[in-house]
Amino acid sequence: MTKTLSRCLLVSLTLVLLGCNTGNTWLTEEQQTVLPTYDEVKARADERVGAIDRFWARAVVGLRYIDGEGKNRRQQGKGHFQVVKPANVALTIGKLGETYLLLGCDDDRFWWIERLEEKVAYIGDQAGARDLALRRMGVPVLPTDLLMLADLNAWPDVGAELAGEVIECDREDLDPAEIFAVRFVEPDRVRVVYLTRLAYEPVGVDLVSPDGELIARSNLSNFERVLNRIDPLNHQRVPTRITVDVPSAESRIEMTLTGAEISNRRPKPVVFDFNELAKRFQVEKFVYLRETEAGMAP
């Protein structure tokens, strides 16, 4: 009896392992070859992103970048990823409860505050500042880009001018039999979201310049439900593992999120108040990215 049971368990385990290795096990031939419509995919995105207009999570962050002086930098620490849409985003990195890097923005400006060798803040305008930011301080992406790269923004409505087009996947590291894409043509870039054919869940996003150059590329995984303290019946889900690469700047961000929640008590307004942050972090030097010289505090 024991030998028979052992053989049955062995056969079952073998079948499971074989099934895991065949790929596309749960996809029908139609799912592998026929693209869904935009409205079908958008409906699923609405369920996932929901009405996320504010967001808070603890973050473990790894950051690799080249600073404004051409030095290779590697930073790792714990902090928070905080959002109040449409344009307030903050990502902090610190150790032992002390913040030493802060990437943030409000409706008009973005900033990068460092408390490393010196206490310096780089400040720029949201519009058209990406290239300048990369050249001057090595910031991998603008803060609002993180929302796009994590696919945390609501999709345009069906029939809207900026609505997406469902296309085949042509990203070299993804299998087109398992993944398809939705392409959004936006005023200053093209955004391509890659999703699973099985569940329409995003696995990555590309931001591409109008001339076809890859601005940034993300990989997304480990989706988990957000604790919604405002409307508990909403079941929004966000990626808790996010990596972002910026080839032109040789930069990478790696984020692992935990404790994600939607609530009225946080983020606190001070997180997006640059003048108050500059005081609290005792910033000594202000670099305005529209200028060539360091300026004084506004």
CATH number, residue 234: 2.50.20
For residue 166, is it within any domain? no
pLDDT 10s digits, 42-74: 999 999 997 789 999 999 999 888 776 778 888
Range of the domain at 68: 50-154+223-295
For residue 102, is it within any domain? yes
What pLDDT shows up at residue 16? 35
For residue 45, is it within any domain? no
Distance (Å, whole) CA 138 – CA 132 = 9
pLDDT 10s digits, 178-214: 999 999 999 888 999 999 999 999 999 999 988 899 9
Task: Report pTM.
Answer: 0.83
What pLDDT shows up at residue 92? 92
Residue 11 has pLDDT above 60, yes or no: no
DSSP 8-class letter at 18: H
Considering its fold, how many domains does the chain have in total? 1
Distance (Å, whole) CA 288 – CA 294 = 7
For residue 99, is it within any domain? yes
H or E element at residue 145 = helix 143-149
Dihedral over Cα of 254, 74, 114, 288: its sign: negative
For residue 232, is it within any domain? yes
For residue 15, is it within any domain? no
Average pLDDT on 125-140 reads 59
Measured distance between the N- and C-terminal CA atoms of the chain, rounded to whole angstroms: 82
For residue 277, is it within any domain? yes
For residue 210, is it within any domain? no
Distance (Å, whole) CA 181 – CA 203 = 10
Average pLDDT on 69-82 reads 88
Q: Identify the CA nearest to 238 among candidates 265, 257, 218.
A: 257
